[in-house]
Structure 1
Amino acid sequence: MTESTREKAQEKTTLVLGGTGKTGRRVVERLTARGLPVRIGSRSAEPPFDWDDQATWERALEGMTSVYVTYYPDLAFPGAADAVRSLAELAVRSGVRRLVLLSGRGEEEAAVSEQAVRESGAEWTIVRASFFNQNFSEHFLLEPVLSEEVALPAGTVAEPFVDADDIADVVVAALTEDRHVGRAYELTGPRLLTFAEAAAEIGEAIGREIRYIPVSAEQYESALVEYDVPAEYAKLLTELFTQVLDGRNAHLGDGVQEALGREPRDFADYVRSTAATGVWGR
């Protein structure tokens, strides 16, 4: 690394909240590959960051010039908007110049958090993402796929599944390029698929039948509780799914094309490459 490159890298230090999650770890990998210093924001990091403990925020933000904001468990959950607003305000007071927020496509409550980031005084970019491809292979729906039965309260609604790698590419562009400031991008894949069609594509790739079973909200919530998900969390999660999977997002967005100048990754490409890793068995 040249001296000028080193100085430039030192000027751009990014805190990646949820830096070990689906999009966060990919953002960390990309920034690190560019020689840009990164701080992972998680409870196990040093210094730690915990959304539920504001006492950890100041140290995590110290020396940062930009922050990738992902909220756990979801922006639709109670208290999320207040937490994001407080974090954004503290970030600006701490010297952070740029905030990039991962938001949920079609989530009404998420709009409040988006507004908080807009009003923070920082340079901002909003990244609204549809249902992740990687939900089928990284936690969440991995066990159902392995058991060959995916049950969700989504009926026959179609979803424009988006790839986490595309999200990470857009986020990194927003963190490192000025032309994305003040933009809100709607990120989707290039086509609509029902969950039954998505399950069938995975099954074809691995040579097994993966069944999609549409269930009611009540059935889904009960199933979560049976799997030891806390009742309150199960209720909120079910409400979120029934909201965003009610057909409101059954259309394509052009955020990947706008931000990156290329087409988004197709679900079929994700399935082929993921099947090759053996995560779904062989």
Structure 2
Amino acid sequence: MTKTQSTQSTQSTQDAQDAFAASRTLVIGGTGKTGRRVADKLTALGRAVRIGSRSAEPAFDWNEPASWGPALEGVDRVYVTYYPDLSFPGAVEQIGAFATAAVAAGARRLVLLSGRGEEAAERSEDALKASGADWTIVRSAWFNQNFDESFFLEPVLAGEIALPTADAVEPFVDADDIADVVVAALSDDRHIGRTYELSGPRLLSFTDVAAELSKATGREISYVPVSNEAYRAVLRENGLPEEFTDLFTLLLDGRNAHLVDGVEEVLGRKPRDFADFAREAAARGVWDA
């Protein structure tokens, strides 16, 4: 690299940092597992943040396109998360329509949280890219925090995790690692047009997870394999979409049973291990029976 090229690169980086300093970011799902962390990290950096949720002001609702405009007003970058999942019916159309609306409103910088190995999610990725946005895709493995903030909290408290996963393995990733990658992607133009796959540092079966949770809590937590039909019934009884059962097929066919280096590529450090997450969560008392 010549001296002139080095100077231009330094100036480009400084311009991007200055733009980020003056930016306002809409964090869709800003009260969720990754969104809350992204919003907190941006706020700690002194950046303006708007939470995108139905309870925010202005409110944001994926099913109410009229709410998108007010949420996007004055925003120049967006962290996009979609509930319940990008593989659910209607996600592709909503992601595409929102991304187009965001770019038209001046929010060209879009970072999308996607899932590893989900062909349906990749169609949503393509819909976002087609908007003409300056995009970054972050494909994530399953979250560590599913066990202390979400779906699996009650089973852990009950001492029995019953799921249709057999002996499949998953490289669980920490939500704080995801948030750090997202903040980097929002703030640094070098991540534009890049797709990053994130995982933790090792593969774990749900039997392994139960053993780590038992060690961290000091009480017996077991994993019990169940059929898809049985799990669908549990979801139905609890008023949750039965389609969540279909996501377990991504585990059973082994497509994600390998590690990836997205966390280290973006952040220059190793991802957090599940055992460290479990010890810290247990110390907070979240799993006290």
Q: Do the aligned partners of 1:11 and 1:65 also contact (CA within 8 Å) in 2?
A: no
2-side partners of 1:10 and 1:261: how far apart?
Answer: 22
- Pick aligned residue for 1:251 from 252, 258, 264: 258
Structure 1 unaligned segments of length 5 or more: list them: 1-6
- Pair 1:107 & 2:114 matched: no
Q: Do the aligned partners of 1:206 and 1:275 also contact (CA within 8 Å) in 2?
A: yes
2-side partners of 1:10 and 1:248: how far apart?
Answer: 39
Shift of 1:197: 0.4
Q: Do the aligned partners of 2:168 and 2:251 also contact (CA within 8 Å) in 1?
A: no
Supply the AA of the counterpart residue of 2:173.
V
Matched residue of 1:109: which SS? helix
1-side partners of 2:272 and 2:150: how far apart?
Answer: 20
**Corresponding residue for residue 53 of structure 1:** 64
CA change 1:123–1:143 in 2 (3 A) is: same
- Pair 1:237 & 2:223 matched: no
CA change 1:107–1:9 in 2 (3 A) is: closer
TM value normalised by structure 2: 0.92
Shift of 1:156: 0.3
Structure 2 unaligned segments of length 5 or more: list them: 1-17
Shift of 1:242: 2.3
Q: Do the aligned partners of 1:106 and 1:244 also contact (CA within 8 Å) in 2?
A: no
- Pair 1:279 & 2:265 matched: no
- Pick aligned residue for 1:260 from 263, 267, 284: 267
Supply the AA of the counterpart residue of 2:178.
I
- Pair 1:164 & 2:200 matched: no
Supply the AA of the counterpart residue of 1:172.
V
Q: Do the aligned partners of 1:154 and 1:246 also contact (CA within 8 Å) in 2?
A: no
1-side partners of 2:149 and 2:252: how far apart?
Answer: 20
1-side partners of 2:37 and 2:181: how far apart?
Answer: 11
TM value normalised by structure 1: 0.94
Q: Do the aligned partners of 2:251 and 2:257 also contact (CA within 8 Å) in 1?
A: no
CA change 1:250–1:10 in 2 (3 A) is: closer
Q: Do the aligned partners of 1:196 and 1:212 also contact (CA within 8 Å) in 2?
A: yes
**Corresponding residue for residue 183 of structure 1:** 194
**1:14-60 Cα distance to aligned partner (Å, 9 max, x none):** 00000000000000000000000000000000000000111100110
Matched residue of 1:23: which SS? helix
Identity score, percent? 63
2-side partners of 1:87 and 1:228: how far apart?
Answer: 27
2-side partners of 1:10 and 1:247: how far apart?
Answer: 42
Q: Name whichever of 201-210 and 165-174 sits farther off.
A: 201-210
Shift of 1:98: 0.3
2-side partners of 1:137 and 1:18: how far apart?
Answer: 18
**Corresponding residue for residue 3 of structure 1:** none
Shift of 1:246: 3.0
RMSD (CA atoms): 1.6
2-side partners of 1:94 and 1:53: how far apart?
Answer: 17
Shift of 1:78: 0.1
CA change 1:84–1:228 in 2 (3 A) is: closer
Shift of 1:147: 0.2
